[in-house]
Amino acid sequence: VSFISYCYPGSDKGVASVLEELFYPRSVAFVGFTSAPSDWSSRMMPRALIDFGFEGRVYLVSRSGEQLPGLQTFTSFTQVPEPVDLVVCNIPARATPGLLEECVAKGVPFVHLVTSGFSEIGYEEGRQLERQIVEIARRGGIRLLGPNCPGFYCPASHFSFSSLLPRESGTVGWFAQSGGHCIRFLRMAGARGVRFSKAVAMGNAADLDAAAFMEYFSQDEATKVICCYVEGVRDGQRFLSLARKASLVKPVIIHKGGHTSAGTRATASHTGALAGNDIVWEALCQQAKVLRLYSIEEMVNTVLPFALLPPPKGRKVAVLGYGGGLSVQAADDCERAGLEVPPFPSELRERLASFTPVPNNSVKNPVDTQHLVFSRAEWMETVRLATGWEGVDLAIFPVAIDMMPLLEEEDILETMVENIIAAKEVCSKPAVVVLHQGVSASMSAVVTAAASKLCAAGFPVFPTLAEAARALARCLSYYEASRES
Amino acid sequence: VSFISYCYPGSDKGVASVLEELFYPRSVAFVGFTSAPSDWSSRMMPRALIDFGFEGRVYLVSRSGEQLPGLQTFTSFTQVPEPVDLVVCNIPARATPGLLEECVAKGVPFVHLVTSGFSEIGYEEGRQLERQIVEIARRGGIRLLGPNCPGFYCPASHFSFSSLLPRESGTVGWFAQSGGHCIRFLRMAGARGVRFSKAVAMGNAADLDAAAFMEYFSQDEATKVICCYVEGVRDGQRFLSLARKASLVKPVIIHKGGHTSAGTRATASHTGALAGNDIVWEALCQQAKVLRLYSIEEMVNTVLPFALLPPPKGRKVAVLGYGGGLSVQAADDCERAGLEVPPFPSELRERLASFTPVPNNSVKNPVDTQHLVFSRAEWMETVRLATGWEGVDLAIFPVAIDMMPLLEEEDILETMVENIIAAKEVCSKPAVVVLHQGVSASMSAVVTAAASKLCAAGFPVFPTLAEAARALARCLSYYEASRES
């Protein structure tokens, strides 16, 4: 594939204003619509636009004339009478050059190719077809998204490729060279209270690519944190220099796929990308001062404190919740991650011990507050005193319902969650919650519902203390580095 | 606390036969029974014995004469007319020496002290009391379990400290210096299909300690895998030499709490243990060839292949399930963990491509089988061909319901789970399933129920591919080392 600059030569528009037009289309045509159950992607997007209340015009183009209530259907694209800002293409790969020529003739500025069967299939035929559509687009002034991807999500313009995503906008910008990863991150982080400015699955990124989106998100004022997943980029140096620039103004979190030889083989199958030498990548990421991660799960945990907390002042943590072995685990997990769990001074311990029905040792930090589940006032006072101490910068509230060998655990969990939400009033440091998973189907549902409540109250919620500690430590590393530079 | 040998001097009984008597008591007296809601531990155990159908005699001793249906209550222990094999003590710490004297007088062989308030409280008073009860026990020929712990679980004798644990026996032996960890591991691993021979929470381990249980489980024929959590042991060298002996006949997995300075401070609060120098521990664990882990979550994942799979022959894995970015992630995760994902030979790829509606590249390994959800026969043939290839030793079936941007995901998940269970028939290598968590409360419940079905069908089920890969790699390390020695 020949190198396609992220901005066409001769264009006087910067990438930021180009992409702003992509994210706010006034009219969209879905070409290749079918309601066949096997063709998920074709149904998914028009339905999502209806569900999101998209206010622009929407046309369906379906050779067999299939319909969706409220939308106009045409049997060929050339029949669409009005201008179209965005064509979403879902027809077979071999027919895409013809459609692109029709788009050129009509003056369509953006084409998003859901269609796969290009460079990712591993045959010369696919690579040739990808070159061909890029050439047609370039000649005709069309910007391409994809091919081989579900596209973008922009809650502010009521545009989404899936009905299951949050309707509200937020501060995280996200782009991914994988539709599956794109959707997983949106859903997993979304369920944890994170909201997005825009998100893009860029597929093979034949035209609009990682560099274009990095530049866009670094300039986008709605975006306060940039997250991305890349498998390979055409010009790694350039991409990482854009990432470095971005990281001077906002945190940049990168998950690079294909960092092992088996993974590299898999990226070729996936987006036709050449993953590049991982040692070089690692060094460049360090130079660029971006946070580099190795999975979507890590990215979900890592984005939480950036998206939901004010910048913490330092690494000293008060742990209020667990008792016994889990307190030991909590202290180990914090210290391994690079946080500190300073022992409370004797004066503070004495004040806590005066109303906490556990031995002196258990108010040292971590503090065992299990016995305070049904004593709201004492629990609140514990939080007030512990987080009021100048020796800590952060609070962690762990809840381990899987530790209770009892039958009444649902009620206990509810009370614990209410206690934590009430404690927001008296907690004077940024705080996160650790909520262990349930082990039965009913407990899983109860725990997930409890997590939603805590998220709605503004808490970052983590499944394990180790993950919370690693996420907080990464967040602190970014802020410490930006204070230095 | 003075050093108490794990076998009393002069006793001609080995630890194995002593502990066998503990696990199979013919009569139990719960001293300090109360039905007050705040006193969970006191209610929990008599109720569990009723629920488990314990066949021995059970007495309650309650000063206020509280009752449970079907059980005899006495207002003092001395009133119990018949011999008692095990006294479970739930009275305040200061009253325990008196009870122990009564037990000596009655010839009770075992006392389990649920009671806390001994060396773990961090005052000389507690350490003194612990020395005192150990001295009474030693003089009177009583073996002590605890203090400060919920006790033991032995499904074969219908004895359990909690009603929520599996009724069936299994092959994993587990002992922990933490009641919370003990219960969490039993419940979490239990929910994943693991069953136990016996499990013990040993608390402060004032008498029966980690060395005693390591020796017992190494000799116990019902136990095929030993798992333990320790914070500190009196004689680390001796403990690890017993662990080394055990690991020659069965895998030994150790989670050591207090491996950081903050964690070490916390172990003192928890069980009064001195955690010891972590570098020394690490070196001793390596010498002892035990698997050392850092959390209960890791232990749950690690025990699965040992407990549920035949020993795999090698490190080569076929990954059948994900597509796209998740396939890249899967390949990266496997290789990082030390597994291999060998590309399929062209002949096998051609056979798969002849009926798989995805491009050639996606049948390389990992194989994208998402398109086969509703094509059972083709899915089965894919499993048969891929696992039949002599170039792989193991199969991983990943299911990522969080990747589906659709509303019909519950039905799709059910079909995927049925497909995997059906594929057992044609799968010729040990196989594990990766099942991503649900993001909504309803999906969490559905995913947990799906996990139960897969567990019931005998599959180890992991929440992420990275955890599956690490667990399989650890399992292979053990078997490779034991083939060498």
Give the global pTM: 0.89
- Residues A156 and A24: their CA atoms lie apart, in Å, by 8
Least confident segment among A41-45, A328-332, A477-481, B163-167? A41-45
Let me know: does A402 contact B184? Beta carbons within 8 Å: yes
Using CA atoms, how far residue A144 sits from A119, A138, B230, B271, B446, in Å, is 15, 9, 58, 63, 38
Contact B263 A335 (CB under 8 A): yes
pLDDT band at B406 (very low <50, low <70, confident <90, very high): low
Euclidean distance between CA atoms A327 and A338, whole angstroms: 17
CB A447 within 8 A of CB A438: yes
| pLDDT for the residue A273 | 61
Q: What is the nearest CA distance from B440 to chain A, expressed in angstroms?
A: 7
Q: Are B151 and B88 in contact (CB under 8 A)?
A: yes
B442, A445: Cβ pair inside 8 Å? yes
Q: What is the mean pLDDT of residues A65-82?
A: 92
pLDDT of B12 = 54
Measured between beta carbons, which residues in chain A are less than 8 angstroms from residue B366? 266
Cross-chain Cβ contact B123/A360 below 8 Å: yes
> Per mean pLDDT, which range of A137-146, A323-332, B223-232 is the poorest?
A323-332
Sequence-ordered list of residues with C-beta below 8 angstroms from that of B42, at least 6 positions apart, any chain: B30, B32, B33, B34, B35, B36, B90, B114
Which residues does chain B have within 8 Å of residue A374's beta carbon, measured at their own beta carbons? 38
Q: What is the pLDDT of residue A405?
A: 53
Residue in A297, A403, A438 nearest the CB of B464: A297
Query: Do A445 and B444 count as a contact with CB atoms less than 8 A apart?
Result: yes
B339 CA to centre of own chain: 25
Kindly report the number of other CB atoms within 10 A of residue A221's CB atom: 6
Q: Cα–Cα distances in Å, from B468 out to A80, A104, B188?
A: 51, 49, 15
The tokens describing A357, both together, are 């029905």
CB contact under 8 A, A296 and B329: yes
What is the ipTM metric for this complex?
A: 0.86
Q: What is the CA radius of gyration of chain B?
A: 25
For residues A429 and A401, is the Cβ–Cβ distance under 8 A?
A: no
CA dist A69 to A35, A38, A59, A157, Å? 12, 20, 12, 21
CB contact under 8 A, A444 and B439: no
Instruction: Report how far residue A165's alpha carbon sits from residue A178's, in angstroms, rounded to the nearest whole number.
Output: 17
Nearest residue in B to A40, CA atom: B406
In whole angstroms, give the CA distance from residue B452 to residue B442: 16
- Cβ neighbours of residue A314 closer than 8 Å, sequence gap 6 or more: A393, A394, A476
Measure the CA–CA gap between A215 and A243, rounded to whole angstroms. 8
B-interface mutation test, from A269, A316, A364, A368, most B Cβ less than 10 A away: A269
**C-beta atoms of B260 and A335 within 8 A:** yes
Residue A122 token pair = 């591993």
Contact between B263 and A340 using a beta-carbon 8 Å cutoff: no
Handedness of CA B75, B79, B81, B85 (dihedral sign): positive
- Work out the average pLDDT over A440-467: 91
Query: Where are the strands (E) in A191-294, listed by range?
Result: 196-201, 225-230, 252-256, 291-293
Name the pLDDT band for A271 (thresholds 50, 70, 90).
Answer: low
Task: Closest CB to B332: pick one of A262, A324, A366.
Answer: A262
Confidence band (pLDDT; 50, 70, 90) for A6?
A: very low
Give the pLDDT confidence of B320-351 residue by residue, as tens digits.
988 788 899 999 999 999 999 999 999 999 99
Residue A323: list chain B partners with CB under 8 A.
180, 270
Question: Who among B44, B269, B449 is closest to A362 (CB)?
Answer: B269
Residues B65, B67: Cα–Cα separation, whole Å: 6
Give the pair of three-digit tokens for residue A46: 């028009």
Instruction: Tell me the count of A-B CB pairs closer than 8 A.
Output: 283
**CA-to-CA distance for A108 and A87, rounded, in angstroms?**
7
Q: Do A448 and B466 touch (CB under 8 A)?
A: no
Please give the residue of chain A at the shortest CA–CA distance from B255.
A329
Q: Which residues contact B283 (CB under 8 A, 6 or more apart)?
A: none
Please give the sequence-ordered ranges of beta strands (E in DSSP) within B343-393, or none if there are none.
367-368
Above 70 in pLDDT, residue B485? Answer: no
In chain A, residues with a C-beta closer than 8 Å to the C-beta of B328 are 178, 231, 257-258, 263, 266-267, 270
Contact B177, B271 (CB under 8 A): yes
Q: How many residues does chain A have?
A: 485
Gap from B288 CA to chain A (nearest CA, Å)? 23
Q: What is the pLDDT at residue A236?
A: 79
Rounded Cα distance, B482 and B249, in Å = 9
For residue A343, which phi and psi values (nearest 5 degrees)? -65, 140
Measured distance between the N- and C-terminal CA atoms of chain B, rounded to whole angstroms: 38
Distance of CA A94 to the CA centre of its chain: 33
Q: Do B123 and A449 touch (CB under 8 A)?
A: no
Of the partner residues A123, A178, A265, the one whose CB lies closest to the CB of residue B360: A123
Query: Which pLDDT belongs to residue B2?
Result: 27
State the SS3 of A106-145: HCCCEEEECCCCCHHHCCHHHHHHHHHHHHHHHHHCCEEE
Q: Amino acid identity, residue B417?
A: V
Q: Do B261 and A294 touch (CB under 8 A)?
A: no
Question: Residue B70 CB: number of other CB atoms within 10 A?
Answer: 8
Residue A300 identity: V
Q: What is the pLDDT of residues B408-463, one digit of tens each?
A: 567 889 999 999 999 999 999 999 999 998 877 788 888 989 999 999 999 999 99
Alpha-carbon span A67 to A77, nearest angstrom: 15
CB contact under 8 A, B262 and A297: no
Minimal CA separation from A326 to chain B, in Å:
7
Dist CA A164 CA B189 (whole Å): 32
Q: What is the mean pLDDT of residues B5-26?
A: 74
Going by pLDDT thresholds of 50, 70 and 90, the confidence category of residue B233 is confident
What are the DSSP calls for B404-449, one per residue?
--SS-HHHHHHHHHHHHHHHGGG--S-EEEEEPPPSSHHHHHHHHH
CA-nearest residue of chain A to B366?
A266
Nearest CB to B164: which of A328, A329, A405?
A: A405
pLDDT at A10 over 60: no
Tens digit of pLDDT for each residue in A371-408? Answer: 888 889 999 999 999 999 999 999 999 998 877 655 45
pLDDT digit string, tens, across residues A342-353 = 999 999 999 998
Weakest-pLDDT range from A88-97, A210-219, B67-76: B67-76
B12 Cα to chain A: minimum distance (Å) = 35
- Which of A153, A186, A329 to probe by mutation at the B interface, max B CB count within 10 Å? A329
Chain centroid to CA B194: 8
- Are B116 and A359 in contact (CB < 8 Å)? yes
> Closest approach of chain A CAs to the CA of B41, in angstroms?
9
Beta bridge partners of B143: B110
Q: Is the pLDDT of residue B272 over 70?
A: no
Mark yes or no for CB contact B405/A164 under 8 Å.
yes
CB contact under 8 A, B445 and A449: no
Contact across the interface for A328 and B295, Cβ inside 8 Å? no
Q: Tokens 């050779």 sit at which residue?
A: A63
Q: Which residues of A touch B438 (CB under 8 A)?
A: 444, 448
Looking at residue A278, its pLDDT comes to 76
Chain A: residue whose CA lies nearest to B370: A38
Q: Is the pLDDT of residue B9 over 50?
A: no
State the pLDDT confidence band at A113, using cuts at 50, 70 and 90.
Answer: very high
B180: confidence class by pLDDT, cuts 50, 70, 90? confident
Q: Between chains, do B364 and A406 touch, taking CB under 8 Å as contact? A: no
The predicted pLDDT at position B372 comes to 85
